[in-house]
Chains A and B, each alone.
Chain A
Amino acid sequence: MSKFEFPRSIKSRPVYGTLEARPGKHHLMIADAEGAEAIMAIATPELMANTHIIYIPRGTDYADKLRALNPAQFYEGPSYAASVTRIQRVLQDAHMGLQIYLTGTEGLMGQAQNEAMQAGYPFSAIQTEHRGSVARRMQCVHCKGITEDVEIDPFVCSHCGLNLFVRDHYSRRLAAYQGVCIDAEDPGNVPPSKGIYE
């Protein structure tokens, strides 16, 4: 699948790069869905011999291909939420020289990056590459509820039901963009939703 070029944006919005195999004794790769392709693009037998992959397929069929790379450890999780305690555990006793690779959707990369930074890993030890869906993880500024995988703007908050527009303002701590009521000044006047980058 081709990679999506995100338009230039404001300074709080994260930018993602392209994974490269870095020298190191230990490698942790966390990916969802099409993120598998970014891992396959850099996988070599030497790298995989020291790599732990945590993968969430989200309905795709890449898991077997990743398993076939023969990583030192492989875990397939049904969802990010189900995998997060395992991720925390792995980060906890990993060595400081650990190289971290995050790839797939913004929601996965943002949340996993947050875990890594809370575990004390410097920003510079964490690589990211966006692959797959351009959907966003959104926080409703009004009720504080998080809605995952938002593809359209405006959208309806899955918690409080307000009509929210999708801002580019992003919080790394929340791993979420901000959603703000779109019809506050003219209740009921909600424009038709479009794809976020349309």
Chain B
Amino acid sequence: MTIQFNDETFRDDYTFRNSDWAINRFPFPFHEDSYMYAVNMEQHRGGPEGSVYEKRFDVDEHYVAEMRDRAMVLADDPLRCQSLPHMTLAGWDLLELIMVSKSEDYPDLFELHREGDQWRWVNKPLGIDDSFTFMDETTLPYGPMEYITRQTQGDFCVLDQREDNLWMDAGIVTTQADWSLDFDIGMNFFEWHAPVPLAHEKGIFVRALKFLLNIQQGAPARRLNWTMTVNPLLDTSPENYHKWGVQKTTLTPENIGQKQHLRVELQTFFRLPRSNALVFPIRCYLCSFQDLMTKPKWGRRLHRVIRDLPEELATYKGFIDNRPMMLDYLSQFDDGLPTSPGVFPDVETEPPLQK
């Protein structure tokens, strides 16, 4: 299908909206009625047609507006994009991976023409047509990682692999769930995960790291993570928390359906060929409570998950104060009926709300 790109904002007047298409394909993260941290990883080898899992780098109706928002964040704070000196090769690897994937997966939107090291990249939605020399930084307006990720939805961490660990040595981070690239850059897998509650004790990070160290080129993996955001604000950074934090207190029983968003990250993992680095794209999808409630199964399940979520997780994810109001709202959409297994909404087979 051809995508109609929305003209919308993720700040100030918040004109962000999901079309029915976007709601139907929203990556609802709960496959059962409860949630706890786990080593929830699977191969990233496509998925149902039209789903966010189908392509290597999903492009949707928010693409153009998200790239505009990223440019604004970077203009205000260039430290959101950093690369330690030894990571330039990995940047070229990433540029190649994205250009090849997007031109193959979306030939009507992106074109890549290569003759030896002379490359031409055409990005139709953003109106870009650039020719450059592969591996020659002076022929691009930014470093290779920054150049291509200014044109790709989602944050990116590029991890150097050494000493049986992963090191966050480069990244571009403008749509994050409240963590700072500038602070975490140079840390290893256990250090940057230090603030996460419960998961260290459960051995999750030890097992997850083992899995990641063994990811091979051409065999990417993926997982979902989620949190909550008031207003469709992409840049929930600690850097700007003193500005956006107060928005959490603007929820009321009347506006919560529209203002409260479930924020889901589709996280993927790709091995890069020349540098042997691992790239970790973190793609953020937002959906308002009221849009989620159009799927009876999601309404029932979200209520149960949020109600039963351990206090440590609700605190860490930053919505402990708003949880009672969320539950008042969500309980209206839970009639106690059982839910089908799996994340998909199953609208054909799940009964409508019985109250």
Contact = CB atoms under 8 A, between A and B. Distances in A.
Contact of A141 (B186, B200, B239, B245): B239
B119 interface: no
A173 interface: yes
A187 B194 CA distance: 28
Nearest to B197: A10
A174 B243 CA distance: 24
Interface stretch (A102-110, A148-156, A178-186): A178-186
B37 interface: no
Interface string B219-256: 00000000000000000001111111110110000000
Interface size range on B against A = 20 to 34
Interface residues of A, number: 23
Interface stretch (B49-57, B103-111, B176-184): B176-184
B194 A184 contact: no
Interface string B79-97: 1000000000000000000
A39 to B, nearest CB: 29
A172 B182 CA distance: 12
Contacts of B190: 11-12
B249 A139 contact: no
B192 interface: yes
A162 interface: yes
Contacts of B191: 11-12, 172
Given A141-B180, A144-B182, A178-B180, A12 B187 contact: yes
A142 interface: yes
A11 B190 CA distance: 7
A169 B191 CA distance: 8
B70 to A, nearest CB: 20
A115 to B, nearest CB: 14
B186 A142 contact: no
B195 A185 contact: no
B193 interface: yes
B183 A169 contact: yes
A184 B246 contact: yes
Nearest to A173: B186
Nearest to B247: A185
Interface in B275-324: 321
A24 B185 CA distance: 33
A185 B319 CA distance: 12
A141 B195 contact: no
A145 B185 CA distance: 17
B107 to A, nearest CB: 42
Contacts of B79: 144
Given A144-B79, A172-B187, A12 B249 contact: no
Contact of A184 (B180, B192, B195, B241): B241
A141 B238 contact: yes
A12 B192 contact: yes
A169 B195 contact: yes
Contact of B245 (A167, A171, A181): A181
Contacts of B182: 144
B195 A171 contact: no
Contacts of B238: 141-142, 178, 180
Contact of A142 (B185, B187, B194, B239): B239
Given A171-B183, A184-B245, A12 B194 contact: yes
B297 to A, nearest CB: 33
A39 B194 CA distance: 32
Contacts of A141: 180, 183, 238-239, 241
Given A12-B191, A12-B192, A12-B194, A181 B241 contact: yes
A11 B242 contact: no
Nearest to A13: B194
Contacts of B194: 10-13, 168-169
A185 B192 CA distance: 25
Contacts of A162: 242
Given A12-B192, A13-B194, A172-B186, 6 more contacts: A12-B190, A12-B195, A171-B183, A171-B186, A173-B187, A184-B246
8 contacts: A142-B238, A162-B242, A168-B194, A171-B183, A172-B186, A172-B187, A178-B180, A186-B249
Nearest 8 pairs of A and B residues by beta carbon: A184-B245, A12-B194, A181-B242, A10-B194, A173-B186, A11-B194, A12-B191, A141-B238
